[in-house]
Chain A
Amino acid sequence: MNTLTRRNFLQSSLLSTAAVLGGPSLAVHAATPPKARVVVIGGGYGGTIAAKYLQMSDPEIRVTLIEKDSAYVSCPLSNEVLGGERDLASLTFDYRGLTRRGIAVMQDTVVEIDPVQHFVTGASGNRYNYDKLIVSPGVDYDWAAIEGMSEAVAEKIPHAWKAGKQTQILRRQLEAMEDGGVFYIVAPPNPFRCPPGPYERAAQVAHYFSTHKPKSKIVILDAKDAFSKQALFQAGWEEHYGDMIEWVSGAQGGIIEAIDPETRTLMGSFEEFKGDVINLIPHQKAGALAQTAGLANESGWCPVDQRTFESSIHKDIHVIGDACIAGAMPKSGYSANSQGKVCAAAIVAAINGEAAPAPSYVNTCYSIIAPEHGISVAGVYRLEDGRIVDIPGAGGVSPADADARTRALEQQFALDWFRNITSDMFT
């Protein structure tokens, strides 16, 4: 076990200070001891927001954001890269905006959390002491759920469920595929990150195929018997792509049990499927750090107090975003954004000796079926008996009978959703 020696403590303080020397807020940090130290792990849709809103609502709190990469590549809108409508650079962001706000952004990989002595250890050897810790680790994959899959196999059979290199691998395979080929998307069981994602992906790839490889087919092999925005997706697929996209439900034999990556063959419960390109989206669980830190329960996800997102397992550690169990909220970027703000407000209240405020949560999620065809789902939530529940009558999906102008507007709003949520995160 780690023990926190005085020397380590000092070393960490010095290192942290050194790394943010260029930041304008250092004078504040150095001149006065912080009211409290909050460390946020993970610079994605949840972590950036928690760090920023903590800093905004109480500048006397010292906020440190630890992120393993120097830049962030957004998963939302990465299906458009597969469809050929945008490149990865347009989805890539850096952390300078948060540094300018006075947040100490450290590029480091957390290897251990000590929940008893309240510090975090980075691969750099750096130690980060905290009064409150926020963990926003995203998802990890349960490779064992499908025989023959592994992290190494994913280099060849990509999931593309985290944007970046994986997205590029899949895009190149789709580009290399001959016209008339079959592209399989293996969709995971619930719960998983971005419930409409596999179905938007089918539409985006169909958009690419219809102009470049019109004889090709897309088959979704699904572990489930129903999916998000299903009626809207199925109507949109047919409207724009005819019978190019086929969906096979779990009951119809869509559940995949094994894969032979060499021959690109998927073994279902009834039959085998041999594909030209396979996108296997694995079964999911809370990010690796949540597992090693003992923040997840037997479900693979992290139980939290849904008012504050404080872990039900470890005191003073909060878990937000895809990794946490958040009642009726889906695992989406907007959910993570909303949870980051609720969590930040709860921590500011706790640090200032106040009760956690009554929470409000929202989700909005757009999918782009074709260049002028967007659809959306929204949810508005409140806390009831300790659980996040839908507010009855609010939210829901775009109307089935919307006209072309509405569909086109929703596509524009999808792009604006992206502009604004990323500016909320990174500026």
Chain B
Amino acid sequence: MPRPTWSRALCVGLLIGTFPSLPLHAEEIRSESMLANTCAGCHGTLGASAGEVMPTIGGLDKGYLVEVLTDYKTGRRPSTIMGRIMLGYGDQEINAIASFYAAQPWVSTDRVAVADQLAEAPALHERYCESCHQDGGRSQDKESPRMAGQWAGYLQYAMQACRDGERCHPRKMRNRVADLSDAEIAALAHFYESQK
């Protein structure tokens, strides 16, 4: 095993000591679009997803995106593949990706409501969701993503995963969805999908 030379160790130590925010590799800064366009193969061009479990991300709140992407990276938000991917990006890069997608126009799905699925949905929305997800799920901030026009497949998965204790963002969401049945979650998901 090669021994580290003093000069190199000293040099690295000095660098880290002097500029704690520098990455270990001297890298060029990659632009927002360069970083973000790699996501489009799964999330659609400019983040407008073609469906159904893959969410639309273009036009979501920047603070929300930063938090979710960071939580994927740290593992705080469990995932199938996003955790593995986000480990490839530094904090500045996550910020750049979030900025890019937050600046895109929101594109709602073209799905329309199916009446019998939705009969009870408005009452459920009012009772459980509206205090945070206002204006039929169109409002958004760092804690509450836009749901109007989002894919029902994704919304259904997100609510079920939260109810079943897998992941909630934010944690208080858990209390809201805890008592919902699968049918009620499906009704809500299709209700939000049909809002544009």
Q: Count contacts on B: residues with CB < 8 A to the other chain.
A: 34
Task: Name the A residues within 8 Å of B44 (CB-CB).
Answer: 420, 423-424
Asked if B80 and A393 sit within 8 Å, CB to CB, the answer is no
Task: Name the A residues within 8 Å of B153 (CB-CB).
Answer: 412
Task: Name the B residues within 8 Å of A361 (CB-CB).
Answer: 38
Task: Name the A residues within 8 Å of B85 (CB-CB).
Answer: 362, 364, 378, 380, 394-395
How many angstroms from the CA of A338 to the CA of B31 in the assembled complex? 15
Q: How far is the CB of A353 from chain B (nearest CB, A)?
A: 17
Asked if A362 and B157 sit within 8 Å, CB to CB, the answer is no
Asked if A413 and B45 sit within 8 Å, CB to CB, the answer is no
Task: Name the B residues within 8 Å of A398 (CB-CB).
Answer: 80-81
Q: Could you say which of A345, A382, A409 contacts B27, with CB atoms under 8 Å apart? A: A382
Q: Could you say which of A337, A360, A416 contacts B30, with CB atoms under 8 Å apart? A: A360
Interface size bracket, A side: 35 or more
- A422 nearest CB neighbor, chain B only: B50
Asked if A376 and B81 sit within 8 Å, CB to CB, the answer is yes
Asked if A358 and B81 sit within 8 Å, CB to CB, the answer is no
Asked if A357 and B40 sit within 8 Å, CB to CB, the answer is no
How many angstroms from the CA of A380 to the CA of B30 in the assembled complex? 14
Asked if B28 and A420 sit within 8 Å, CB to CB, the answer is no
Within 8 A of B (CB), among A357-405: 357-362, 364, 376, 378, 380-382, 384, 391, 393-396, 398, 402
Asked if B40 and A424 sit within 8 Å, CB to CB, the answer is yes
Asked if B29 and A358 sit within 8 Å, CB to CB, the answer is yes
Task: Name the A residues within 8 Å of B38 (CB-CB).
Answer: 338, 341, 360-362
Of B1-9, B51-59, B167-175, B186-194, the stretch lying at the interface with chain A is B51-59
How many angstroms from the CA of A412 to the CA of B153 in the assembled complex? 10
A-B contacts, 30 of them at CB < 8 A, read: A52-B45, A334-B41, A341-B38, A358-B27, A358-B28, A359-B34, A360-B38, A362-B85, A364-B81, A376-B81, A378-B85, A380-B85, A380-B88, A391-B88, A393-B87, A394-B84, A394-B87, A409-B53, A409-B80, A410-B80, A415-B52, A416-B42, A416-B53, A416-B54, A417-B41, A420-B40, A420-B41, A420-B51, A421-B41, A427-B50
